[in-house]
Structure 1
Amino acid sequence: MTRTTKTSIFFVFLLLVLLPALVVSECTCDNEDEDRDRDKAMRYKIAAIASILVASAIGVLIPVIGKFVPALSPEKDIFFVIKAFAAGVILATGFIHVLPDAFESLTSPCLSDHPWGDFPFTGFVAMCTAMGTLMVDAFATVYFKKHHMKNGQIEANNNGDEEKNSGHEGHVHLHTHATHGHAHGSSDSGSTQLLRHRVISQVLELGIIVHSVIIGISLGASESPKTIRPLVAALTFHQFFEGMGLGSCITQAKFKNKTITIMALFFALTTPVGIAIGIAITNVYDENSQTALIVEGIFNAASAGILIYMALVDLLAADFMTDRMQNSTRLQLGSNISLLLGAGLMSFIAKWA
């Protein structure tokens, strides 16, 4: 398991443990009357846990099976089309689902006018998080690249020492060095790109998980069947499409099976675990308390900044600006249509979620 993966797991653990404690506080703004029915709401919540878990698992595994199905491998044009659809889904999630929720929380009349009414904190947090994601993206890539090159240089030196000690023919020695140098140089670009994909997939998963925890807790804490019922279907499709986006990135990162399993499980389980936490704190959770609104608003704004940056820079620009994409009108057209379709479907789902 990589250091970045361990850091992500630790952050998610803190989020799952601390967020419920932070949002449990006294009410400062009266709730609107709702059709509360605890038993009926509980049935919907259980259905939501099952359906979201299955949909998330299927969504994240569809691109991953490209590892075993040649037709869906990252080298095929269809993979670019699927990835464009997934990027559209993630972009719409950031702009249409997460960012408006953050604005709603941080501009709520339940919050005091000072300082929350004096400054657009939602846009500020999203902007800072997008810039922070860029910095993490760049520094992590440089760190892993230097680490990889250092290990490669040590290996090359060891091979050179072994060849010198072998005492074989000179022309064979020179030829071996030339071949090794060429192979090492040609592999550097591929290794750097692979490291980029690994950083991208882990940062993207972090952004998705933050939002998933919050929306899971909100759903689990609600006792209104009228509110929960449309959310079950909408969130099921939402998690399925987001899973496809994350799965596409995980596939290109070429992780070991153990890491793929851990990342897929974390994504699939986060929203159901959030719902379970929401159920557990139903009696003390108040979504209109100042603490809840501030915590949810800031986390949602941060998540939106991550998702928007990742979708535009690391997913869309990285693929749409390649020679392969620009030299194929058919692939360009298919990817653009797929992008619009993904963003359009996810935007449409916002009517219910």
Structure 2
Amino acid sequence: MATTKLVMKLVYILLTLFTFTISPAISTAPEGCDSGAENPCIDKAKALPLKIVAIVAILTTSLIGVMAPLFSRHIACLRPDGHGFMIVKCFASGIILGTGFVHVLPDSFEMLSSECLNDDPWHKFPFAGFVAMLSGLATLAIDSITTSLYTVKNVDEPVLDVYGYDQEKAIHTVGHNHSHGVVPETTKDNTQLLRYRIIAMVLELGILFHSVVNGLSLGATNDACTIKGLIIALCFHHLFEGIGLGGCILQADFKNVKKFLMAFFFAGTTPCGIFLGIALSSIYRDNSPTALITTGLLNACSAGMLIYMALVDLLATEFMGSMLQGSIKFQIKCFAAALLSCAIMSVVAKWA
């Protein structure tokens, strides 16, 4: 579909623009900021091998996480139309929600309130929350407008309301006991498939933003003590995050080439960020004002997207769907799965 191709192009354009924001961050941190020069853990010789280990470990665990759902259709208990898959999907959605609330958004607040930034305006206005809010609204607009454009372009009937009926026809149907107000199942299926594809691509975009930032930060630091903890934490983080993204890619029913392209793009983003950080480690300063502002705003943008996608397009959609609405017991199981994954991400947040 032309719409999906447009969104994918947007992903690449935004990431390309991000690379141009890195060069201004190669600057000296202001006086008075803690540069870590007296930290005994700062050892470039010891840090480099750990960074190589991080690249391999994160790439491997990311691939395992994102690819696992793509092969789940071959497992009877995890088929996309089964209860097992729904529980796994709610678990994965909780991972995305936890990532946005507990990992990315707090990092943004911390960066944009750093003592290395000028008091005016960065300490006088909550830029992190403001940008996250705008990002969530922008994601809603993209979600809604893209679906509407597709519906208007491909459906002869008027645009559907949330119940799948044109209101005027629905009233006519009820009043005269006719059935011509019902929209064809093919139209509903195509619209739902489009939504799944939009969800998958926008979700990947949000994940890629903070993955690049994580990789760049890890690659640029020479603190061997910090890197050791980050390797374990980021491996778990990307494993579970990959499961969430992989489930969305599976439901989007892309062609195999696009599925694996999105999977490898997700898995390779953080390692690429680490490579870039290593290349810039001698001149990049993560506490320079430009670096703090750039990464802080990107994290806020990513947080808004992830929180919106997790709550609206993933959890709310499933919990209000027919499968879960038909069983309170099953709802409780899915809620427990989402709560468990949020708890796991909250624990992991202690280290990453």
Q: TM-score interval w.r.t. the shorter chain?
A: 0.7 to 0.9
Matched, 1:40 2:46: yes
Partner of 1:31: 35
What is the Cα deviation at residue 22 of structure 1?
A: 3.2
| 1:267-306 matches, cutoff 5 A | 267-306=266-305
Q: Runs of 4+ in structure 1 displaced over 4 angstroms?
A: 181-184
Matched, 1:62 2:61: no
Q: Give me the whole-angstrom Cα distance separating, in 1, the residues matched to 2:185 and 2:290.
A: 54
CA contact (8 A) 1:86 1:244 kept: yes
Letter of the 1:27 partner, please give it.
A
- SS of the residue corresponding to residue 115 of structure 1 reads helix
1:86-136 deviation line (CA, Å, top 9, x unaligned): 111111111111111000001011111111122111110110111111001
What is the Cα deviation at residue 195 of structure 1?
A: 0.4
Q: Give me the whole-angstrom Cα distance separating, in 1, the residues matched to 2:273 and 2:212.
A: 5
- SS of the residue corresponding to residue 2 of structure 1 reads helix
CA contact (8 A) 1:211 1:300 kept: yes
1:289-335 deviation line (CA, Å, top 9, x unaligned): 11111111101111110011111000000000112102123321220
CA contact (8 A) 2:29 2:116 kept: no
What is the Cα deviation at residue 184 of structure 1?
A: 8.1
CA contact (8 A) 2:105 2:299 kept: yes
Letter of the 1:258 partner, please give it.
V
Partner of 1:341: 340
Partner of 1:18: 20
Q: Give me the whole-angstrom Cα distance separating, in 1, the residues matched to 2:145 and 2:223.
A: 45
What is the Cα deviation at residue 70 of structure 1?
A: 4.0
Match of 1:106 among 100, 109, 112: 112
**Larger deviation, residues 303-312 vs 327-336:** 327-336
Match of 2:143 among 124, 137, 148: 137
Partner of 1:93: 99
Partner of 1:324: 323
Letter of the 1:122 partner, please give it.
A
Structure 1 gaps, min length 5: 151-180
| 1:74-223 matches, cutoff 5 A | 74-149=80-155, 185-223=184-222
Q: Give me the whole-angstrom Cα distance separating, in 2, the residues matched to 1:211 and 1:295.
A: 11
Matched, 1:8 2:14: no
Higher helix share: 1
Letter of the 1:313 partner, please give it.
V
Q: Give me the whole-angstrom Cα distance separating, in 1, the residues matched to 2:105 and 2:226.
A: 20
Q: Give me the whole-angstrom Cα distance separating, in 2, the residues matched to 1:2 and 1:308.
A: 24
Q: Give me the whole-angstrom Cα distance separating, in 2, the residues matched to 1:257 and 1:184.
A: 30
Partner of 1:309: 308
Q: Give me the whole-angstrom Cα distance separating, in 2, the residues matched to 1:147 and 1:274.
A: 39
CA contact (8 A) 1:20 1:281 kept: no
What is the Cα deviation at residue 182 of structure 1?
A: 11
Q: Give me the whole-angstrom Cα distance separating, in 1, the residues matched to 2:127 and 2:14.
A: 23
Normalised by the length of structure 2, the TM-score is: 0.88
CA contact (8 A) 1:145 1:195 kept: no
Structure 2 gaps, min length 5: 157-179
- SS of the residue corresponding to residue 109 of structure 1 reads coil
Normalised by the length of structure 1, the TM-score is: 0.88
Letter of the 1:103 partner, please give it.
F
Q: Aligned residues: percent identity?
A: 46
1:3-52 deviation line (CA, Å, top 9, x unaligned): 2222212322332x224213211211341332211121111111110010
Q: Give me the whole-angstrom Cα distance separating, in 1, the residues matched to 2:141 and 2:74.
A: 34
CA contact (8 A) 2:318 2:324 kept: yes
Q: Give me the whole-angstrom Cα distance separating, in 2, the residues matched to 1:143 and 1:27.
A: 47
1:137-190 deviation line (CA, Å, top 9, x unaligned): 11111122333337xxxxxxxxxxxxxxxxxxxxxxxxxxxxxx9998121111
Q: Give me the whole-angstrom Cα distance separating, in 2, the residues matched to 1:293 and 1:107.
A: 9
Letter of the 1:237 partner, please give it.
F
Structure whose CA Rg is larger: 1
Q: Give me the whole-angstrom Cα distance separating, in 1, the residues matched to 2:72 and 2:129.
A: 38
What is the Cα deviation at residue 258 of structure 1?
A: 1.2
- SS of the residue corresponding to residue 51 of structure 1 reads helix
Partner of 1:160: none
Instruction: Supply the RMSD in Å over aligned alpha carbons.
Output: 1.7
Partner of 2:176: none
Letter of the 1:201 partner, please give it.
A
